[in-house]
Each structure stands twice: as C-alpha cells, then as structure tokens.
Amino acid sequence: MREAAASILILAVTMNFLALGSSNLKACIRAAALQGFFVSVFPLFFSPAPTLRLLGLVLVAGVVKAIVIPGMLYRALREVHIQHEVEPYLGLVPSVLLCAAGTGATTLFASRLPLMPAHRDLLVVPVALATLFAGFLLLTTRRKAISQVTGYLILENGIFVFAQLLHEAMPALVEVGVLLDLLVGIFVMGIVMNHIQREFGSLDTERLSELRD
C-alpha cells in the first residue's frame, strides 16, 4: 500500500511538468484531469482503514476533478476555437526548469519539518507543496484564461493532497466545501472567459486592461 501511495504521488508530480511544458491547451487540461484522478484515489492507499466517508470523498473528488471540470474546460475550448498558448509571460522551458527547482526546494523544505515518519516517507508534504507551486506558476505565467483556470485546478489538487494529513480531524463538510469553492471558482472564470471572448474575440487576459468605463 505504501509503495502504491508513493507511486501515485510521483505520477501526480509528473503531471505538473506536463501541464507547464505543453503549449497545447488540450494536453494541459488532460494533465490536470489525470492529476485530479491520481490525487483523488490517493486517500485509499494513504489511509490505513478506508471508511465509507472516505470512499464517498474519493468518488466525489474523482468525478469533479477528473471528469466534470475538465469536461467544462474542453467545452470552453470548442466554443472559443483556440488550441495553443502562443505567448505565455514565461516560456515553456523556463517554466519547466522553474518547476523543477521549486519541486527540489519544497523537498528540502519538507525534510526539515517535524513530520511523522509515515508522512515523510510517502512524500505527502513535498508533493503537496510542489503541486501548489506548479499551479501558482501556471496561473501567473499564462495569458489564456483557460490555462489560468487549469492552474487553479492544479493548485487545488495540492491543497487536497495536503489535507489528507488532517483527514481524520477534518469534518466531511469542510472537505466538500473545498470542492464547492473550486466549482465556484470555475464558474466565475467561465463567466470571465465568456465576456472576454464576446467582447474581444480572444482569451488573452491582457485585454482586461481595455475594460474601462
């Protein structure tokens, strides 16, 4: 079980590099969806004794992260007729290198924290922090709103992984609240994307500077 949990976390971190290293928006969304699936099933291998509550959380999280939200993003892609992130604020190669540096830094930082041996061996904290960093990086270095929403989704995946350390103490209502917050964020960004596309025929967020009275 421990080996499987560690393997799942490694796969989740790999998706960070795939999302940041691809200019193809479909590939970026696909990486976020796969990561959502990995982090959703991770609690089954992390928990010593899965409960019905945990199984319900895994099911809901998996459906929302790996199916519902990526499906919404794919639909947005079809409607706005864009396929690639053409001119990001930070290039693809520098983004991947910065992500690699951030992943290494979070590993060193986590090794200095007073963690339980089980948590340290499974790389839960390093993976959570690295995923948070990758999501923030994608959110702030991309011009297209769809890329930014994908970054938000990856960032929330990091929060979800970190929350597993406190799963026993975290009420189910709080866990569902995290997913609801994510859905609200996606809907808001969907409205923003719709207005940008309708007004300017583009999803470049720099166009927001033109929205003046």
**For 123-170, how does the pLDDT look when each residue is reduced to its tens digit (9 = 90+)?**
888 999 999 999 999 988 988 878 888 888 898 888 888 887 776 655
Q: Write out the E strands in 59-171.
A: none
The pLDDT value given to residue 55:
84
The pLDDT value given to residue 203:
53
pTM equals 0.81
Q: What is the distance between the alpha carbons of residues 87 and 200, in angstroms, rounded to a whole number?
A: 17
For 98, 106, 116, the CA distances from 111, given in Å and listed in that order, are 20, 8, 11
Cβ burial 121-158 (10 Å sphere, 16+ → b, else e):
ebbbbbbbbbbbbbbbbbbebbbbbbbbbbbbbbbbbb
Please say if the pLDDT value at position 43 is more than 50.
Answer: yes
Structure tokens at 109: 């930082």
The pLDDT value given to residue 188:
58
The pLDDT value given to residue 121:
65
Structure tokens at 128: 């959570």
Please say if the pLDDT value at position 91 is more than 90.
Answer: no
Average pLDDT over residues 57-79: 83
Domains of the chain, residue spans: 2-210
Residue holding tokens 């009275």?
Answer: 213
**For 97-123, how does the pLDDT look when each residue is reduced to its tens digit (9 = 90+)?**
999 999 999 988 888 887 776 666 678
When mean pLDDT is compared over 14-28, 55-69, 143-157, 184-198, the highest value belongs to: 14-28
